[in-house]
């Protein structure tokens, strides 16, 4: 269980990015955090990852307080952030340096097959497409089998088709070991496709605004009316979080425009 208790972050310049954010996340749950820009989504994720310390509140994973990067927590960034001097296989095995070589090779080979890049094992990162590179990043983060995987707008730099592909692929990989996923996104579609729970945040200061449970069986049909219904609920919550009334909302966005900027 991942417990966020009253997390707050005030930057040295006085900006109050995040205020008293609390939520409990079950093991194996997929939670999407969505909100307008400046609502502290990424700040929150970096605090969970132990990359930046929160100014108040605590993150605990299975009773252990997290204040620095932890073995059980993996993170995937918006950019793949592969190490350009390592082959694809070595990038995936980067977090396994303590394992004996043969075990490492085995795990890497498995992961490569799992993300469908076996033929790219010896390629350099620069030779990959954006989608392939992000798949390597996902494999790298998953291969040490983290209990929690954090994703910071992982697919936002990809084209719409690749993005859908990778969303489905991520769910597929998730089903292998069922880690907890905490996903920060701008994309309502993505949140509803992936998450068990969508947390809508409001900006200035960043705060939890509304929590929407997505009670839809997987795999989810992006074109079903139920799916649309959930999307509309998330969009409505987003609009209200920004103090826009629903009636005034941009008709395009209520019609289910995928991107939320």
Partner 1 sequence: MGPRVRGDDSSIGAPSLSANLQSTAGSVLAMAMTVELPALDQADVTTRPAPTGRLRRLARPALGLLLPVGLALAWEIMVRLGLSSGRLVPPPTKIFETIMELAKSGELARHIEATLTRVAAGFGLGVVAGTLLGAISGYWDLARRLLDPTVQALRAIPSLAWVPLFILWLGIFETSKIALIAAGVFFPVYLGVMGAILSVDRKIVEVGRTFRLSGPAMIRRILLPAVLPAYVVALRVGLGLGWMFVVAAELMGASEGLGYLLLDGQQLGKPAQILAAIVIFAIIGKTTDWLIEIATAPFLRWQDAFGRQSGAA
Q: How far is the CB of 185 from partner 1 (least distance, A)?
A: 19
Answer for the pair 25, 211: CB distance below 8 angstroms, yes or no: no
- Tell me whether residue 96 or residue 201 sits nearer to partner 1 (CB atom): 96
8 Å CB contact between 206 and 42: no
Whole-number minimum distance, CB 99 to partner 1, in Å?
Answer: 13
Binding stretches for partner 1 (CB under 8 A): 49, 51, 68-71, 74-75, 77, 79, 81, 83-86, 94-95, 97, 123-127
Phi, psi dihedrals of residue 4, rounded to the nearest 5°: -105, 120
- CB 194 within 8 Å of CB 32: yes
By beta-carbon proximity to partner 1, the closer residue of 77 and 209 is 77
Helices (H) and strands (E) in the chain, counts: 8, 10
Which residue from 21, 22, 13 is spatially nearest to 39, judged by alpha carbons?
21
Answer whether 61's CB lies under 8 Å from 70's CB: yes
User: Shortest approach of partner 1 to residue 84 CB, angstroms?
Assistant: 6
Least Å distance, CB 88 to partner 1, is 11
Residue closer to partner 1 by CB (options 23, 94) is 94
Q: Give the residue with the Cβ less far from partner 1, 51 or 160.
A: 51
């Amino acid at each position: 269980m991942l417990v966020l208790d009253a997390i707050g972050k005030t930057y040295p310049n006085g900006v109050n990015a995040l205020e008293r954010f609390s939520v409990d996340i079950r093991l194996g749950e997929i939670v999407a955090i969505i909100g307008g820009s400046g609502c502290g989504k990424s700040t929150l994720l970096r605090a969970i990852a132990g990359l930046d310390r929160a100014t108040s509140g605590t993150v605990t994973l299975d009773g252990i307080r997290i204040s620095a990067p932890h073995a059980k927590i993996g993170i995937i960034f918006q950019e793949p952030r592969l190490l350009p001097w390592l082959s694809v296989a070595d990038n995936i095995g980067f977090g396994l340096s303590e394992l004996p070589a043969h075990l490492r090779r085995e795990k890497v080979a498995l992961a490569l097959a799992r993300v469908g890049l076996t033929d790219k094992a010896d390629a350099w990162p620069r030779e990959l497409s954006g989608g392939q590179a992000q798949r390597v990043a996902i494999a790298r983060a998953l291969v040490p089998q983290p209990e929690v995987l954090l994703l910071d707008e992982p697919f936002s730099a990809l084209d719409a088709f690749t993005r859908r592909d990778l969303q489905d692929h991520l769910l597929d990989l998730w089903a292998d070991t069922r880690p907890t996923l905490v996903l920060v996104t701008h994309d309502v579609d993505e949140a509803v496709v992936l998450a068990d729970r969508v947390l809508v945040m409001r900006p200035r200061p960043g705060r939890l605004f509304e929590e929407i449970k997505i009670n839809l069986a997987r795999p989810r049909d992006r074109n079903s009316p139920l799916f649309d219904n959930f999307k509309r609920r998330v969009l409505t919550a987003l609009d209200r979080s920004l103090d826009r009334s629903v009636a005034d909302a941009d008709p395009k966005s209520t019609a289910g425009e995928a991107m939320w900027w």
